[in-house]
Structure 1
């Protein structure tokens, strides 16, 4: 501390004043000098204890800060990984959606083409059936006329 030198000087000055004033009373002087020395020793011990407690507190705070930073880093990494996974899933869904849409379009086009072919074949069948029925009707009428003429 910056005031330690001043305190030591004041202790020495107080000790000198007490020694000069009470020099005639040796026993009282010794007791007072011992009290001042005890106070100085206790002060030094308390300062060391305070310094040790501060260092311990700072160490614990640094440990807590390191743990908080680690948790924060892990959280950031998790958030980043989750974002990447969401983007990957979104891209995959878009790819699957595009594939399904193109497959549906291709299937619809193929079915429409086949349905058109079926309709054309059905029309041809109807026409050939109509012409066959028409020629059959003509034959039947010819046969009926021949039978009527033969009677």
Structure 2
């Protein structure tokens, strides 16, 4: 057993955990932040993407102990003062979702894409989101949403 101190969505959380506890399990089961999804158990789908110290990571590939002392942002932490994050708003406006299961991870990845590449083109968006799988759509509206959030023509 270990004690971790992780700032999650702006709040410091200190918990005693088993050393083998995955970060995604810590977020979902210990903190009740169920917007971070587990979709594949092989780290291929991207449904579990969160931001760790400002960078997109798949939370199913990290132990919670590895996040000790770090800052984590989940989909629940993107909105501010009751307003959706611009990427969340773009996904809503451009219907960049279908069943919604992949949407939190897709949005978290897309926010990271725009942090690194503020004005991507369509090909770049598609390439950057290759680590996120959507089983329902053809990705067209997802790409439109990311381009819209970047200020590019959608």
Shorter-chain TM band: under 0.3
Larger strand percent: 2
* Larger Rg over CA atoms: 1
TM-score (norm 2): 0.17
Larger helix percent: 1
